[in-house]
Structure 1
Amino acid sequence: MLKSEILNAPLLGALAKLGHTDTVVIADCGLPIPAGATVIDLAVVQGLLSFEQVLSVLTRNMVVENSTLAAEAEGGAVQELCASYGLEPGFISHESLKAELPKAKIIVRTGEATPYANVILHCGVAF
């Protein structure tokens, strides 16, 4: 048996397939998901799982080179939360962020209901 803090088999398997420059999106429960995207849906009810809970686990278990938030989140709680996990995000418009979704290897849908609680995590390498 694999030793990992992540118990969700689809999430763990998808993370194991990531490489340098791949992207993972942590999405709030309202973000429109494009057809054909690989989605790991962790939303149970509104608020569970939260954006912060998922961000915390993913930043501990993957190498994040950089991140991207919607410009509408700049200066708000979502940016502060990302900074608390060592992420200093770049910013693009919310429409541009949604346009990037089809390029993501994984979209992790949360139960988060805070506006603009979406982040694109850009994978790095551990060496």
Structure 2
Amino acid sequence: MIQNGILNPHVLELIARVRHTNTLVISDWAFPYWPEIETVDISLTRNIPTVLDVLNLLKQNFKIGKIWQAEEFTTTNSARVIEDFDASFAEIPNVSVCRLGHDDFKKLVPSAIGLIRTGDATAYGNLILESV
């Protein structure tokens, strides 16, 4: 029995299929549904869990080379929220962060292996992770 890290079997099954250069989306509670990719919904209530909760668990065993995020994230959130995300990104060795317009961000979503939907209410807090 797994006792540490990610315990949700649906999330484990999804991330086990991610290979070199595949992408995985971690989204907020309001992110649109994408019928062409698998969605694992782990939202419980507002802000439980958050995108950063999932990222912080994933980065323990998931080798991330690149993170995409909407550039609108930096103009709609407080300095503290931006610092929290940036601090989490900084803990990932050799990761590059690319912020692009939200419409361009959404164009990358359909090619992802899957999407993990959280209860996060952070505006534009969605992430696309590319495996190394």
| Per-residue CA distance 1:61-99 (angstroms, 9 max, x = gap) | 201011111111247524424434335411111011111
Poorly superposed stretches of 4+, deviation over 4 Å: 1-4
Q: Percent identity?
A: 27
Query: Aligned pair in 2 of structure 1 residues 85, 71: CA closer, same or farther (>3 Å)?
Result: same
Task: Return the alpha-carbon distance in structure 2 between the equivalents of residues 114 and 33 of structure 1.
Answer: 17
Where does the alignment leave 5 or more consecutive residues of structure 1 unmatched? none
CA contact under 8 A between 1:56 and 1:85: conserved in structure 2? no
**1:113 and 1:32 mapped to 2: Cα distance?**
14
Alpha-carbon contact 1:26-1:51 (below 8 Å) kept: yes
* 1:52–1:81 contact (8 Å) kept in structure 2: no
TM-score (norm 1): 0.86
The structure-2 alpha-carbon separation of the partners of 1:94 and 1:82, relative to structure 1 and needing over 3 Å to count, comes to farther
Work out whether residues 65 and 96 of structure 2, in 8 Å CA contact, stay in contact via their aligned partners in 1. Answer: no
Letter in 1 for 2:64: V
- Correspondence list, 1:36-55, <5 A: 36-55=36-55
Distance 1:41 1:81, change over 3 A: farther
The TM-score with structure 2 as length reference comes to 0.83
Residue in structure 2 matched with residue 119 of structure 1 by the alignment: 127
Provide structure 2 residue ranges, at least 5 long, that are not aligned to the other structure. Answer: none
Contact 2:70 2:126 in 1 (8 A): yes
Instruction: Tell me how far apart the structure 2 counterparts of residues 119 and 22 of structure 1 sit (CA, whole Å).
Output: 14
Matches within 5 A, 1:13-52: 13-52=13-52
